[in-house]
Amino acid sequence: MASSEDLARYFAAGTGLDPFGEAFSRRHAVMPFRGKKRLPPEEMQDVWLQVQSQPGRPGKRLAYIHIPFCANHCLFCGFYKNAYVPQTGADYVELVIEEIRREAQSNAVHGKPIHAVYFGGGTPTALNAGELSRLITTVRTELPLAPDCEITVEGRIIHFTPDKIDACLEAGANRFSIGVQTFDTDVRKRQGRRSSREEAVRFLEYLRDQDRAALVIDLIYGLPGQTLDIWQRDLETAADIAPDGLDLYGLNLIPTTPLAKAIAAGKFPATPELNRIGAFYRAGAEFFRRRNWRQISNNHWARTTRERNLYNLLIKEGADCVAFGSGAGGSFGAVGYGLNGDLALYGEDVRAGRKSLGMMTVSDELSALRTLVTAGFEVGHLDLGRLDRSSGQAMTPVFEPLLHQWQGAGLLSFADGIVDLTLAGRFWYSNLVSAFHDILSLELGRPENAARAIS
């Protein structure tokens, strides 16, 4: 049971303070492996065969295809895996196509529609036009895609040439998610982004003017050297380009990245303190609110009705996801899996006719409740009644004291069992989710899965 002392550990700093800058002293990551048990490697192939033989669960479904190549390692990025080499890329595409074809007719994949496909990376747009076309066409012909399936290709500005854009569109891609990070030429170049502001703008306008697919761009705030003035200009440039959608991500300073190492070695100025980062989020969120863009999740805005952001929303809701390619991750019900990130191992496995499983997990019985909280807070809204019904217990009274405290601190409004996050609450989303997950674990008999306090 969660005691009042347990709850008090999650209280935000008191009223009268700036909720963006001072609610908590640190950001708490949502732990992706909470409540998940890793299976021993020798059991993974058997469990995979069982999963594949069962018909899919009801509900919307997803497919993810990972392309683990990049032209260079951008300093801030934790996703980098392999340098792009044309022959390696070509061989890899053949392997992924083989993997997709092999699984397409399994009970788990066949039969029920897939509603969103994501070609992510890395940099899918590093591949050549023919490879992009073959990959997208394979997915469209082999997998049971819904007629209105969202098909996203993630990419970057350099090397995404007009012939590749045409190849993606002709093969059926209907959404491009392009990493921009910042338009400021200086800040870009210091992070390993090779194109200038002018080249980035010209490219995005070209892609927008094709008008055949949703255009989404990613911006990051908190990069070294990116002042609030530079950020304001980033927002204005993005609004002028008028994409269909936009992500605003706070820089996550991942210890293994070249950026974190350079800062630790004193070769780079430190990134802004947490109490200044909230101001960037607030500036961005208010900027787009004033322009009447719809905020469809904490970090995502849509300007037009073309943008749905389906893949990202459904993955947070725990939708089943079939995954292909080295380093990809997916899930079927309680079983989650990650494919080998090592290209040689992945190739060996595909050639031997095996799913290249690098790890597999099974979730505990609280997984559906945790997902309800994560998916709700992701869109800034939680109906506690659903938590009561799903858990079969009265959870509302357990959370009430905490919700009232957070309300007083400016993080949310709470009435009639409905929680609505304020902008500041959206900024601190991961802290709120972690607190809820901890308390669910304490309250419902899984204390071993409760983490530490968040403030």
Ligand X SMILES: C[S@@+](CC[C@H](N)C(=O)[O-])C[C@H]1O[C@@H](n2cnc3c(N)ncnc32)[C@H](O)[C@@H]1O
Query: Which does residue 80 bind out of ligand X, ligand SF4, none, counting CB within 5 to 8 angstroms by kind?
Result: ligand SF4
Q: Pick the closer one to ligand SF4 by CB: 122 or 410.
A: 122
Query: Which does residue 254 bind out of ligand SF4, ligand X, none, counting CB within 5 to 8 angstroms by kind?
Result: ligand X
Site residues for ligand SF4, window 172-191 (CB under 6 A)? 179
Q: Pick the closer one to ligand X by CB: 220 or 424.
A: 220
Q: What is the rounded radius of gyration, in angstroms, for the C-alpha atoms of the chain?
A: 22
Site residues for ligand SF4, window 148-177 (CB under 6 A)? 156
What's the min distance (Å) between Cβ of 366 and ligand X?
A: 28
What's the min distance (Å) between Cβ of 165 and ligand X?
A: 15
Site residues for ligand X, window 74-113 (CB under 6 A)? 76-79
User: Rounded to 5 degrees, what are φ and ψ at 35?
Assistant: 70, 15
Q: Which residues contact 448 (CB under 8 A, 6 or more apart)?
A: 441
Query: Which does residue 218 bind out of ligand SF4, ligand X, none, counting CB within 5 to 8 angstroms by kind?
Result: ligand X
DSSP β-bridge partners for residue 62 = 116, 321
Site residues for ligand X, window 118-147 (CB under 6 A)? 120-121, 123
Coil, helix or strand for 230? helix
Site residues for ligand SF4, window 65-94 (CB under 6 A)? 70, 73-74, 77, 79-80
Part in contact with ligand X (CB under 6 A); list of ranges 1-9, 33-41, 245-253, 286-294: 245-253
Task: Tell me the HSE value of 28 on the side-chain side, using a 13 A CA sphere.
Answer: 23
Alpha helices in 256-366 (DSSP H): 258-264, 274-290, 310-316, 343-351
* 73 is a site residue for ligand X (CB under 6 A): no
Host H or E run for residue 424: helix 423-427
Query: Which does residue 64 bind out of ligand SF4, ligand X, none, counting CB within 5 to 8 angstroms by kind?
Result: none
Encode 86-142 in three state secondary structure: HHHHHHHHHHHHHHHHHHHCCCCCCCCCEEEEEEEECCHHHCCHHHHHHHHHHHHHH
Residue type, 318: G
* 200 is a site residue for ligand SF4 (CB under 6 A): no
Q: Which residues contact 166 (CB under 8 A, 6 or more apart)?
A: 129
Query: Which does residue 52 bind out of ligand SF4, ligand X, none, counting CB within 5 to 8 angstroms by kind?
Result: none
Cis ω on the peptide bond leading into residue 122 (within 30° of 0)?
A: yes
Residues that bind ligand SF4 (CB under 6 A): 70, 73-74, 77, 79-80, 121-123, 156, 179
Residues that bind ligand X (CB under 6 A): 76-79, 120-121, 123, 154, 156, 179, 181, 218, 220, 249, 251-252, 254
